[in-house]
Amino acid sequence: MDKPPLTTGEIAQYCHVTDRAVLKWIDEGKLKAYRTPGNHSRVSIHDFIAFLKEYKMPIPEELQEGSTQKKVLIVDDDKEMVNAIRRVISSQNHFQVDIAYDGFMAGQKFAEFKPDLVLLDIKMPGIDGYEVCQRIRKDPDSKHVKIIVISGALDMDGMERIMQLGANDYLTKPFRNEFLIMKVERVLGL
């Protein structure tokens, strides 16, 4: 599957510049872009990489041809559980991992890290896993993101609710490491 085109904000993050600088590059014809019906600029990955090469800027690893690393965001308020999940996921070479310890931090990390998969706990202080799942699914730009709920507090009603909110799968705590890897790889189509 082709990677979706980049927004000016995403390009600004990659290049460590402002959105305005990216728009200026587009206006000056340095960076090839097209307009959406809503008049937003979009840049194909191919055109962005060509721009980076022309101006001798580093190409982010995840945009390089043949990069198979998937980004996994772990969201759980239990630091021991987070470390355990991170060890299991990081043991597989094809994953890049980031962490959020609550629902609010999950929103920030989600926007910055742009994960392919969110491993999500349900019971967290403040914004719980149900709300995090719902917010991810409400955003049309994150339709492709997979969600696996990992919780020790899911009864049948909770499982049904989380699946209705758009989770792709769930795993109950405690779990076996091989089940976690199996579900992650299956959901991501690896």
Domain count, the chain: 2
- Kindly report, residue by residue over 120-139, the tens digit of the pLDDT: 999 888 888 899 999 999 98
Same domain, 38 and 111: no
> In this structure, are 58 and 78 located in the same domain?
no
CATH number at residue 74: 3.40.50.2300
pLDDT per residue as tens digits for the range 34-87:
999 989 999 988 899 889 989 988 887 677 665 567 899 999 999 999 999 999
Evaluate whether residue 1 is within a structural domain.
Answer: no
pLDDT digits (tens, 9 = 90+) for 107-121: 898 888 899 999 999
- The contacts of residue 100 (CB under 8 Å, 6+ apart) are 73, 74, 75, 106, 108, 109, 110
Residue span of the structural domain in which 41 resides = 6-63
Predicted TM-score of the model (pTM): 0.64
